[in-house]
Amino acid sequence: QVQLVESGGRLVQVGGSLNVSCAASGSILNIHVMGWYRQAPGQQRELVATMTTRGITTYADAVRDRFTISRDGAKNTVHLEMSSLKPEDTAVYFCYADVSEITSSDGDSLAYRDLEIWGQGTLVTVSS
């Protein structure tokens, strides 16, 4: 079963920088899209940034000029570099992946299924 594990969330001061990372593991055939969403207390989960296999990125307007997403396809990891952090960036950051998971492999044949999976989240707190 494919799993996502995030790391790097912590308390940081306003204006500071922080990197969070996510690693995917399991029977992965391909990760089509990988990225980050966040959920602040009392708010709905929202897009932060995603990146496709071809390197096409999508950013939320609120973070576009401050956050940078990157992926390592060989390691099945995604990273989010956050700078100029604001109190409103405080949230649980969830890793997301649109992935093809291998369900069986038998000589010449291979079966897979497409899944959208989420990590458990990592807390980023921006304190003034």
The answer to whether the CB of 24 falls within 8 A of the CB of 3 is yes
CB 92 within 8 A of CB 39: yes
- Give me the pLDDT at residue 107, please: 80
Ranges assigned E (strand) in 26-86: 28-39, 46-52, 57-59, 67-72, 77-82
Pair of tokens at residue 117? 């999976």
Give 88 or 108, the one with higher predicted confidence.
88
Separation of alpha carbons 30 and 22, rounded Å:
16
Q: pLDDT of 72-83, one tens digit each?
A: 999 999 999 999
